[in-house]
Structure 1
């Protein structure tokens, strides 16, 4: 009986057909599980799997179609209007066959080198262009599916929007909005980047498909960048490296001259450390190189490590300039690429001064949360601009949900990388304590001489003895009290540029009245404080200042001009170049700086601490100064949001710091009617008081007769 059933089933065609369909569905389902779950979510792992099982590639087109059935939930977008340009390519069938015949036989893990251009028509905005076209992209992802990447070349006498070359790249290869965003951020950093965007492209009447578009390397691009006609654009791809000239090519040039690139490669590989450090920024533009490296680090990218290098030589400046290309973004969970330098960057940043300068500039970017807000706003706008076209694209092999998840994941990566860099550099700055821009947000109150004791007594009772207010802030808040003496020598130019700009440059030494064993006793440092348009960061906040600290270490550097300068000679030799660069950025000559006046002050301070670190402080300062027999004094309260905490804080925490300060100031005003707002910094305030007592003070400083005292030698701790 069982045998009879068996033969009936075996001979039943409908049953066999159904069984076959069931088998295919189960196999496709298994593939989806393999490719979408676990380790097979990784592209390289999937590639290795397909390489070992080539037969699976035969059913991939069916798998792609079945997978996209989930796009039915996006049906409403098919009735919405595209917001990006629509173009069309028309290629004769025999020419299209030539292009297809040029492709490798293997499905993946193969490099496409036999590129073939064929004639075609490119249609845009009602106009027809005679063009040449080929498949683009060396990796199989660009051409092993129905939707392929293209390079279109236009006639030199009939350019398209000023372009002689235009790439149409499948958008998933450029991580959808990521590369367009990278180009935007490159421009923010002062770098050049090829114009990019998004468009729909129809090939031989097929359905519209979404593409990432970017101008190809050409002399026309260099001209649009206002470069000289004899500028040279170099690039390398697979096999090209910094080892020698092999593998490099001139991508746009009127000549075949590699001599400048050979000079750079020779210095990189054969120059001594001393020679390399002295000459590298005579050959490569320093600002451009720092920005190029920072651009990669903001994307946690190593994709320009050996290939994908692009740089041009500008003969009018006699220097090379790097161009970001195919930067991508790499997840921090896979690898943190901070400090992972490619060949030339590794040589450059082996110099601590160069590394320090690059990190300073990078920190300036990530310390400002508005940069991240602007970055994310552009990234979101970019994705929104082509989202309708993306959802309507039926030639793509991935689902709409995959694209949305990729967009969201990379957006989060932008946030995580930004904050990781900020926190890392802030921690290094805190540990080192010098040479990084910090943001001070302080508020000053003037009060009559002799009132400090009264104010100190109130503060200690309100915030030290009675900790009710502090406890209300949170369990991680504490309060402490300090009593110190400071001696500050202020420097300026003969023209008093810093005085006029409400800035201050001072040498400071301190003494702790409460703890004679304090390690900070006798500690020396140089502080540069800037406000208004001179600030390097937080320029939109009128109430903040920038502070940059420099370590003090008196030693002979061998540079006579530095060793004789009253300020530069105080600064540690490895920080002198940075100091001079900072002063020059203000448009001032660092060698013109000289001591102007010295302020001695007693500072009694109440600290509000968060997690053991200073959060907000209130200082009662009694300051005095003497110059040529004239003396002046004043008292001032400084209400300061700690520069380290404030610099590292996000927008929400900064707002909380300001709110706590406002509540405490309001309480003070209620108890002490004599407190008056005071926006004048100590240097300016003391200078003005002495100026009343010393007629012709400014004139005497200008002609060099009146000078302050040079700081005395201190024992180095």
Structure 2
């Protein structure tokens, strides 16, 4: 994998607008800003992004382009601070891994941000999952829904208040699509929960791309994103096939670290995963066997220290000079330098654990 040099972004926000942002970190309304990249100027809207990460010292941002209206074939991007990840590479490593095992996943790259002339630090620029995401991959047009909270659990019961949901669409925000697409989503949730067990194998394939779903499940299981089953994902309904597939999102709490950056045991997440749809799919022997073979293949070819270590070390070497200039990260270089070995140790341990559990899929 060849990485281009990390681009430098010059961001200017009027002091009054910056104060407006800081006044209420939970406000989603953007402020106007100017962005210069390689001497080209862009007028943008800028807002804080994330939930629990907003009150951290280094902010993450949502960026919308309006003059010109696109940048690198995108109308919006996300700048992630990766503040709780001492390696800063877990999110990117995860999305690259999902791509390699055959799952749709956002593109990402590192950028170095200067704000009003001062170093603001290293950021991971994430592609937005929207209609441009589909166009850039020559995928059929189709609906995209974001799973925004724990109600996106593929169940009739709320994961938040443990009651029957008032609406089948709870937990989802439509990013792209029509009112008809909202009906398709509700049909999906209803079908997952009402198709009789003896009909499930033949009926669910009318709603879900099972192979793609299992690839996503494998990605969550290997990276061990505990939150990935009820949010931290987007749903894409392929307009040609009518089938749904899952796209991962927010994968910094992975590869052996939790949302606080603390160590997560390699056996914390079972290989059967969670949520209603996963449970019903893995209840079908044919699907379960397919999943088992998929895990074995990934264990032998993609989720190995030999395969991943060069990628980890390359990313680490790429961003290290910028960590030294990042006002929020430069004092943690000693921890940053230990992370490649930490992640490799996790891969070894998690791989052994997953392999030891394969018989539970019989």
TM-score normalised over the length of structure 2: 0.85
**Displacement of 1:339:** 2.2
Which residue matches 1:219?
Answer: 131
The 1:84–1:325 alpha-carbon spacing in structure 2 relative to 1, beyond 3 Å, is same
**Displacement of 1:302:** 2.0
SS in 2 for 1:123: strand
Partners in 1 of 2:303 and 2:122 — Cα distance?
31
Partners in 2 of 1:308 and 1:255 — Cα distance?
23
Pairing 1:322–2:246 present: yes
The 1:395–1:302 alpha-carbon spacing in structure 2 relative to 1, beyond 3 Å, is closer
**Displacement of 1:428:** 6.5
Q: 1:194 aligns with which of 76, 83, 106?
A: 106
Preserved contact between residue 44 and residue 67 of structure 2 (Cα < 8 Å): no
| 1:228-259 deviation per Cα after TM superposition (whole angstroms, max 9, x unaligned) | 33x11111212432232122111123667301
Which residue matches 1:150?
Answer: 61
Which residue matches 1:124?
Answer: 37
What count of residue pairs does the alignment treat as equivalent?
336
| 1:552-589 deviation per Cα after TM superposition (whole angstroms, max 9, x unaligned) | xxxxxxxxxxxxxxxxxxxxxxxxxxxxxxxxxxxxxx
Partners in 2 of 1:186 and 1:257 — Cα distance?
26
Which residue matches 2:317?
Answer: 384
SS in 1 for 2:123: strand
Preserved contact between residue 101 and residue 298 of structure 2 (Cα < 8 Å): no
The 1:346–1:397 alpha-carbon spacing in structure 2 relative to 1, beyond 3 Å, is farther
Partners in 2 of 1:256 and 1:157 — Cα distance?
32
Any residues of structure 2 matched to 1:475-514 within 5 Å, and which?
Answer: none
The 1:227–1:336 alpha-carbon spacing in structure 2 relative to 1, beyond 3 Å, is closer
Any residues of structure 2 matched to 1:70-109 within 5 Å, and which?
Answer: 83-103=5-25
| 1:614-662 deviation per Cα after TM superposition (whole angstroms, max 9, x unaligned) | xxxxxxxxxxxxxxxxxxxxxxxxxxxxxxxxxxxxxxxxxxxxxxxxx
The 1:374–1:201 alpha-carbon spacing in structure 2 relative to 1, beyond 3 Å, is same
Which residue matches 1:276?
Answer: 200
SS in 1 for 2:352: helix
| 1:194-226 deviation per Cα after TM superposition (whole angstroms, max 9, x unaligned) | 110111001112224111111123221121121
Partners in 2 of 1:168 and 1:401 — Cα distance?
24
SS in 2 for 1:160: coil
**Displacement of 1:392:** 2.1
Preserved contact between residue 42 and residue 67 of structure 2 (Cα < 8 Å): no
SS in 2 for 1:356: helix
**Displacement of 1:180:** 0.8
Preserved contact between residue 165 and residue 218 of structure 1 (Cα < 8 Å): no
SS in 1 for 2:50: coil
**Displacement of 1:171:** 2.4
SS in 1 for 2:181: coil
Partners in 2 of 1:187 and 1:310 — Cα distance?
15
Pairing 1:137–2:137 present: no
Preserved contact between residue 164 and residue 218 of structure 1 (Cα < 8 Å): no
Partners in 2 of 1:117 and 1:208 — Cα distance?
19
SS in 2 for 1:418: helix
Which residue matches 1:160?
Answer: 71
Which residue matches 2:164?
Answer: none
The 1:423–1:367 alpha-carbon spacing in structure 2 relative to 1, beyond 3 Å, is farther
| 1:470-520 deviation per Cα after TM superposition (whole angstroms, max 9, x unaligned) | xxxxxxxxxxxxxxxxxxxxxxxxxxxxxxxxxxxxxxxxxxxxxxxxxxx
The 1:355–1:99 alpha-carbon spacing in structure 2 relative to 1, beyond 3 Å, is same
Any residues of structure 2 matched to 1:650-689 within 5 Å, and which?
Answer: none
Preserved contact between residue 305 and residue 343 of structure 1 (Cα < 8 Å): no
Q: 1:238 aligns with which of 112, 136, 149?
A: 149
Any residues of structure 2 matched to 1:530-545 within 5 Å, and which?
Answer: none
| 1:125-172 deviation per Cα after TM superposition (whole angstroms, max 9, x unaligned) | 110100100111111x34431x21111111275311111111111123
TM-score normalised over the length of structure 1: 0.44
Partners in 2 of 1:198 and 1:281 — Cα distance?
38
Tell me, which stretches of 5 or more residues in structure 2 are unaligned?
157-167, 257-263
Partners in 2 of 1:163 and 1:206 — Cα distance?
26
Q: 2:337 aligns with which of 389, 404, 414?
A: 404
SS in 1 for 2:228: coil
Preserved contact between residue 129 and residue 234 of structure 2 (Cα < 8 Å): no
Tell me, which stretches of 5 or more residues in structure 1 are unaligned?
1-81, 104-111, 433-717
Pairing 1:177–2:92 present: no
The 1:278–1:165 alpha-carbon spacing in structure 2 relative to 1, beyond 3 Å, is same
Partners in 1 of 2:32 and 2:115 — Cα distance?
13
Any residues of structure 2 matched to 1:49-64 within 5 Å, and which?
Answer: none
Preserved contact between residue 47 and residue 62 of structure 2 (Cα < 8 Å): yes
Higher helix share: 1
Alignment RMSD: 2.4
Which residue matches 1:17?
Answer: none
**Displacement of 1:407:** 3.8
Preserved contact between residue 199 and residue 211 of structure 1 (Cα < 8 Å): yes
**Displacement of 1:296:** 1.2
Q: Which of structures 1 and 2 has the larger relative contact order (alpha carbons within 8 angstroms, sep 6+)?
A: 2
Partners in 2 of 1:391 and 1:142 — Cα distance?
23
